[in-house]
Structure 1
Amino acid sequence: MRESQNIEYKESWRDEYLKWICGFANAQGGKIYIGIADNHEVVGVADAKRLMDDIPNKIVNMLGIVADVNLLEKEDKQYIEISVEPSAIPISLKGVYHYRSGSTKQVLNGASLHQFLMRKMGKTWDDVERIPYSEDLLDRGAIDYFLQKGIQADRIDASLLNEDTRSVLDSLELLSDNGSLKNAAILLFGKRPQRYFTGVQFKIGRFGNDESDLIFDDIVEGNILQMADKVVELLKSKYLISPIHYEGMQRVATLEIPEKALREMLYNAIVHKDYRGSAIMMWVYNDHVELWNEGELPENMDVFTLLKKHKSRQRNPKIANVFYRAGLIEIWGRGINKIRTEFEKVEMPMPDFEETEGGLMVSFKRKHPAHQDKGSDSATTQVTTQVTTQVTTQVQALMTAIGNEEMSVKQLMEALNLKNRHNFLDNYLTPAIEGGLLTPIFPNQPRHPRQKYRRK
């Protein structure tokens, strides 16, 4: 017999071992052998008959469960086997919940206890009812975005486009039995989910040589379904480089990080995040990028298992289902392999994955690192040059889109497939006007309701 995550050896019985029995019952079950030393030598127990009466009674009276207690013998020495089955309901000892994790026992409290109790009840956090239904709280644009993506991916019937908001949410099981909004509904389609969950943010910082050398930063908020699009747009416009090359006569800008892999990492961080915690964090350094989201890996899974072929296990199944139906993710646990494949295509090293500070950290190299000079001046110069170069590229795209027409801000953003108005104004329109390339048709009335722009 070998000691493992579900077997314990004790030389003699003590009532404190009821904690171990409680932990086994709350986890995957297990066995405790009384009368066997740590070196697996049978030392026997004294007064085995009394223990065979006392132990089962204490288990029933203190824990409310029944365990198999067997008297065994080896080399004329008696020892006791206590076999504990996993319990379908939470088990506590004097109001304290113990849990067997790996080869250790832990006391559950706070967020871990809340998550454990919901799991035992067959519920997940994103499936919990939050607030009464109100369409004023929901963003119909986000719902239409979801429907269009899902139809394009052939995972949603086009007839859903004709359904009202409540019907769409109901079809996705995002409403409770009494019609209230679940946590997932607010996160996915809420106008301001940050009012209810402080952790619904994506923080990005541009750093020089180390974390103390912050150059600039941004915070992305809003619904989590469209969050990855906003982050990618921001990374392209301010944080990462997109070198220009030509394919024949076609001018092509390719992001230095494989975009499909980048999106997969962003989707993973958003879908699997524990939204009771803090924001998703991204650190963009001179030579690499780090991405962290709160939420430990599922039980019995570590980074080594994550990097191999594995079953998909969602922390937030309601959220994951919507991302899947929108064609943004798969449900077969193939995300890591997709990331690996995309990095291999461009001959870049596979990202590193690490469990740290209650979450998952992903680190990956930049293809075009900045110079590693001392101090932040060099890094600041590099960032300024990078942004200026990209603004020029963006202005060129704007000039191509407008041609010889007069177009409004909305028309130009649609032509460029942009959704962030601030990004468009700061990095496209304003530089074009200040550079003398475009002019408003109502120059003295910048907020004119029929304002449009044309070549100067």
Structure 2
Amino acid sequence: MRTESQTLEFKRLWKDDYLRTICAFANGEGSRLLVGVDDDGQVIGLENGRELLETLPNKIHNKLALLVDVILNQQEGREYLEVAVQGTYAPVSYAGKFYKRSGSNTVELTGSNLTHFLLKKYGKTWDDIAEERFSLADIDPLTVEKFKRLAQDRIPGIQDEESTKALLRKLNLYDGEHLKRAAILLFGRNPQQYYIQSHSKIGRFLSETDIQSSDIIEGNLIDQVDRLMDVLRLKYLKAYISYDGMHRRETLEYPYDALREAIINALIHRDYTDTSNLQIRVYDDRLVMYNGATLSPEVPIEKFDQPHQSRPFNPTMAAVFYKCGYIENWGRGTLNIIDYCLKAGLPRPEFAYEWGAVRATFYRKQRQDEHAVGGVSGGVKKLLEFIEENPGLTAKAISEAMDTPLRTIERWLKALREQEKIEFQGAPRTGGYVVKEH
């Protein structure tokens, strides 16, 4: 039995509204529309098949400016039409609107999705577009000098480049006599003057709704990388001190290299047509990054923890970040992040895609002083106090009552069980956690 898919659609009879489906097929890689076939892929036949064979090609050409193959087929004495649509290089619209296929559905393209679709059809990306309103006066010379220092290993002789204009041309940041959007985001004195959404935010969260403190990081992207890391390190993250002989060692609660890699990835892959910004939320037990992004079909969120191709959403900016040594050009960013965390003894970070944003969650490792026998602190302590006041609840019920993710609650429960602070009493479905008597 055949089933509908990205490239195959069944219709019992013809309606002019199905021109939207043909439009969507043309904007993809080409597909087939079968008319006279039910939802299960069974041929039920057409009474006006021969009439449609004559009229449909002209109707499709007049409405969509497309030439398609319309074929009249037979199966067990029943006629059905096959409309074969080839993918087009130029975008196709129907009644002034653009459509694409998403699985077995036809969806209208609007907003940033429409913008990126049109750019892709013409072989462009958002960051590669030139803007007449930009000039060299918008470029920050200090950032240019910083880039030269960073890029001297990958671009020999870059330090000898005296002209900023010549350097930006060498980096493919000019289109004719106009600077591209990437130039302002990477090197601009004040990119937020043109793209207000290009700033980043850091916040300390006591709960999902209770914010203790926050910072806004502005400036160009090359500078934002270091400024974000400095603010995180100095204000938001704990550092643990140890000694190797006479040498003092300072270790962040999350691996520095993992956070830096995640920030660089976020800035490169951000969808700057979206009004959201990079948000870094620091909780007692985890750090979460939210980044507005449009994922490549070739690299869905499920492949973030697997070897995959490099598919930067902003390739012009990615090329500059590569040349200054910020990234490798092998699609290993998320794999490096996972490796850094595992080597530091932290849980594997998680990646998810929701509400048009990539969410990266880093889980903190509890130190010995936080779960040593005889004492607990932080979120584990809050959980112990909650169970003492509300005995007999399941992990799920506790998660809902404390407004804390179930995964976090389960991790805290495990720590308390290992310390023999709590125990589970009753049947698995009806029992709950209680504080042990000592």
Interval of TM-score (by shorter of Structure 1 and Structure 2): 0.7 to 0.9
Correspondence for 2:378 among 367, 371, 376: 371
- Counterpart of 2:126 in structure 1 is 125
- Counterpart of 2:430 in structure 1 is none
Q: Is 1:165 matched up with 2:164?
A: yes
TM-fit CA distance, 1:300: 5.1
Deviation per residue, 1:35-58 (Å, 9 max, x gap): 111111111111221111111111
Contact 2:345 2:365 in 1 (8 A): no
Within 5 Å, give how 1:129-148 maps onto structure 2: 129-132=130-133, 134-148=135-149
Deviation per residue, 1:291-339 (Å, 9 max, x gap): 0111121235421133322211121111111011111112221111111
Within 5 Å, give how 1:24-35 maps onto structure 2: 24-35=25-36
- Counterpart of 1:275 in structure 2 is 272
Aligned mates of 1:182, 1:23 — CA distance in 2 = 31
- Counterpart of 1:347 in structure 2 is 345
- Counterpart of 2:247 in structure 1 is 250
Counterpart of 1:118, as a letter, is: L
Gaps of 5+ in 1: 376-456
Counterpart of 2:241, as a letter, is: I
- Counterpart of 2:189 in structure 1 is 191
Contact 2:127 2:182 in 1 (8 A): yes
Mean alpha-carbon deviation: is it higher for 132-141 or for 88-97?
Answer: 132-141
Deviation per residue, 1:275-300 (Å, 9 max, x gap): 12222111100100110111121235
Aligned mates of 1:33, 1:98 — CA distance in 2 = 19
Mean alpha-carbon deviation: is it higher for 141-150 or for 131-140?
Answer: 131-140
Please, what TM-score do these two structures have when normalized by structure 1? 0.78
Among all aligned residue pairs of Structure 1 and Structure 2, give the percentage whose two residues are the same amino acid.
38
When the two chains are superposed, the root-mean-square deviation of aligned CA atoms in Å is 1.7
Counterpart of 2:61, as a letter, is: V
Give the secondary-structure state (helix, strand or coil) at the position aligned to 1:199.
helix
Counterpart of 1:202, as a letter, is: S
Aligned mates of 2:302, 2:237 — CA distance in 1 = 29
Within 5 Å, give how 1:53-132 maps onto structure 2: 53-132=54-133
- The alignment of Structure 1 onto Structure 2 pairs a total of residues equal to 371
Within 5 Å, give how 1:48-447 maps onto structure 2: 48-132=49-133, 134-151=135-152, 154-177=153-176, 179-208=177-206, 210-276=207-273, 277-299=275-297, 301-368=299-366, 371-372=378-379
Q: Relative to structure 1, is the Cα distance of residues 220 and 56 closer, same or farther in structure 2, using a 3 angstrom cutoff?
A: same
Give the secondary-structure state (helix, strand or coil) at the position aligned to 1:142.
helix
TM-fit CA distance, 1:241: 1.1
Counterpart of 1:174, as a letter, is: L
TM-fit CA distance, 1:198: 0.7
Give the secondary-structure state (helix, strand or coil) at the position aligned to 2:9.
strand
Please, what TM-score do these two structures have when normalized by structure 2? 0.81
Contact 1:27 1:101 in 2 (8 A): no
Contact 2:201 2:214 in 1 (8 A): yes
Give the secondary-structure state (helix, strand or coil) at the position aligned to 2:243.
strand
TM-fit CA distance, 1:185: 0.3
Aligned mates of 1:309, 1:40 — CA distance in 2 = 37
Deviation per residue, 1:81-126 (Å, 9 max, x gap): 1111111011011111111122221111222212211111111111
**Higher RCO by CA contacts (8 Å cutoff, separation 6 or greater):** 1
- Counterpart of 1:384 in structure 2 is none
